[in-house]
Structure 1
Amino acid sequence: MTSQSTELPQNFEKKETRGRKRLLKRDDILKGALSIGLDNLTMKTLAEHLNVGTATLYQYFENRENLMMEAAEYSIKLLPFPDYRGQGWQELAIEYTQNVQRILKQHPSFIHSHPVTDYGYKIHFTLTEKILTDLVSCGLDAKQAIQVAHIITMASYGGAVEAIRQERLPIEGADIQSYIAGQFKEMDSNEFPILSENIEDFILSAEDKTNFLLKIALANIQSEFEKK
């Protein structure tokens, strides 16, 4: 059972303050940054969104980079990640992978960002510590939990990249399965004998590909744990 939503808050209420001074709180700025989206964030657009002058933002944050780092860290606190409810570590790993994959898909800049120059290492450490804590609660030791966390990370990033790629189809509203199947029908089947006989197994959604990889990886690591 997965959490109901992993999307960052998108629809914060914008308070109209024209004609009077507004005392901003730091949370107001961070929530405003998330509502705009970190991929498109500039100090100017955020100031317009909050109905304040750009100079006001610089009273709270030295520059855009500092704002981005703190907003990204703040976003982790708002995400309803799965909690340990007595489920096995494999089930929890799948839940985490699905959640992180959705977040990365929604915010592609998290995928190609550099932890030093963009959002900072703290957001990575914060998320990892949360995952490790829950995995240890499932009965894994710290080293085992870190191994599983690596699987979660790589599967999440790979799944998000594939999901983004599949959505960028030249035909609006088309799904990846029907689109690729249509493209393959135009090919000479004699050139692709193996694919021709197994095209349905080849055409998978990003979610199905991720689950396929997870099933193999988690089963293999379970075997390794049992040997020790």
Structure 2
Amino acid sequence: MIFKNYKTKLGLFVTVGILLFFLAIFIIGKQKNLFNPVFEIKAHFNNVSGLQVGNAVRFSGINVGTVDQIRIINDSTVQISMLVKKEVQKFIKEDSEAGIGSEGIIGDKLVVLSRGGTTDKIVKEGQLIGSTEPVETDAIMESLQITADNAAIATEEIAEILAKVNSGKGSLGKLINDNSMAEDLDATMTNLKTSTKKLDENMEAAKHNFLLRGYFKKKKKAEERKKATLEKEAKKSK
């Protein structure tokens, strides 16, 4: 009885193991496009930025293939071979380009294929297509760090300027904090307004002065003639 239970358990264990094995093969094969017709395209890069064999190939936001091989051609060129679903080939043009992106900010690397568009010729089996070099994450972080440092310096300098202004240093600080300077500025503006008003009154009085009356009449007539001439020219142009 014990022996029969042992054989039953062993059989169940082996059956479950075989099922898990075939399930794993199916999942991996589906991811690697082992059960779908595929075609190969290639691209050259100076730096693959951490891309690995098995990473996804994406077209129009959809995973359409995998990276099959990464090979160093020379000291400045790396060749990537990609296996892409055959059904997608008709959408990829000869002028399409391969670029290296990532899943999110810190996700796995992947190859992104552009649509192309300047030609109607479809990419061929094994064809080498153009590429765009990836932007290194380290370079982005370095740029952000420089920007942050500059912002910190600018903030510190602005804080120093405001501190000097609040303490009354400099012309702006004296103007803001010195009441007498503000009062002098107000008095100057008041005097300017008064002078302007008096100038207008003097001009009005001069117009009624019999010695200058002729001058202002001539000036007025000249302005009226000029206005009439402009009106005639406007009517002619219509």
TM-score range, shorter chain: under 0.3
Normalising by structure 1, report the TM-score: 0.21
TM-score, reference length from structure 2: 0.21
Higher helix share: 1
Which is higher, the Rg of structure 1 or of structure 2? 2
More strand by share: 2
Greater relative contact order (CA < 8 Å, ≥ 6 in sequence): 1
